[in-house]
Structure 1
Amino acid sequence: MSSYRNSYEARCASDLGPGFAYEPLKLTYTLTCSYLPDFVDVANKRIVEAKGLFDAADRRKILAVKSEHPDYSIEILFQNPNLKISKGSKTTYGDWCDRHGIAWRKGPAK
């Protein structure tokens, strides 16, 4: 048996029998979602997002939209582009955008 010994998965493996391998492969999948940009210059296919928080879900979404809609340009206006993308990371919001070829700038002050 593998790393599932003495667990619920081990009991399931025993119940299923030797014809089943435990976690032998990874299968990819695609989720279909929709995206509602903050601001769009429709004539010029330009999207502008206003972001205070830029979490992992937002970053995945922006990369997916950029990949699937390359005819649109995306720019992000950050409230604070110097915030780190996660606790302990050295990468700022601005750094992340630079790495992924996404235009960004600091948004308007209060």
Structure 2
Amino acid sequence: MPRVIPDWVRAKSAARKAGYRSGLEVSLGEEIKAAGHPVIYEEHKVPYLVPETRHKYTFDFLLANGIIIEGKGIFDATDRAKHLYVREQYPELEIRFVFSNARAKITAGSHTTLEDWCHKYAFGFSHKHIPLAWFKEPGPAIHPSVLLAEGPYGYLKRNPDAAREEALRRAKLR
């Protein structure tokens, strides 16, 4: 039985051969040419910035010693990026992952596993269970409850060094 190729696939293929990305762009190029004007297609790029967006990260578990435990079955690219942003903005937080399968690939066809990713970015991880050693460790120098006491974005509003000093001061007062 011959393979049936949908019309939109044929149109896209024809557009690519004509130097465009879609059938609509082919039609528009032809319109411009028929109107007697030069066809100037994708010759200029406009640089722009994506405005800052604020997000909130709710971690799964907080051990008494201040270690954050994140349970993960699926760990997609968006989630991995989120954890790298959180690490960059809150380097004092000690986030560790417990994967349902630490040897799973980060994406289908990838050679990188979840444990490889954790090694690369220096995140602690475990397979299926929280190691008893994590409960006994001293944890981070600044407990997350102290660090985040100012609210979700208070830490970022001021100079990071000033925020750390304030968190340490508050910890001493308690």
TMscore range, shorter length: 0.7 to 0.9
Change (3 A) 1:106 1:48: same
Size of the alignment, in residue pairs? Answer: 98
Residue 25 of structure 1, CA deviation? 2.0
Q: Which has the higher contact order (CA 8 A, sep 6+)?
A: 1
TM-score with structure 2 setting the length? 0.48
Q: What is the one-letter code of the residue matched to 2:123? A: I
Map 1:1-110; keep pairs closer than 5 Å: 7=25, 22-41=44-63, 44-108=65-129
The structure with the largest alpha-carbon Rg is 2
Residue 53 of structure 1, CA deviation? 0.8
Q: Secondary structure at the match of 2:117?
A: helix
Q: What is the one-letter code of the residue matched to 1:49? A: E
Q: What is the one-letter code of the residue matched to 2:89? A: E
Q: What is the one-letter code of the residue matched to 1:88? A: G
Q: What is the one-letter code of the residue matched to 2:106? A: I
Percent of paired sites with the same residue: 32
Gaps of 5+ in 2: 1-18, 33-42, 130-174
Residue 45 of structure 1, CA deviation? 3.3
Higher helix share: 2
TM-score with structure 1 setting the length? 0.73
Higher strand share: 1
Taking only aligned residues, the RMSD between alpha carbons, in angstroms, comes to 2.7
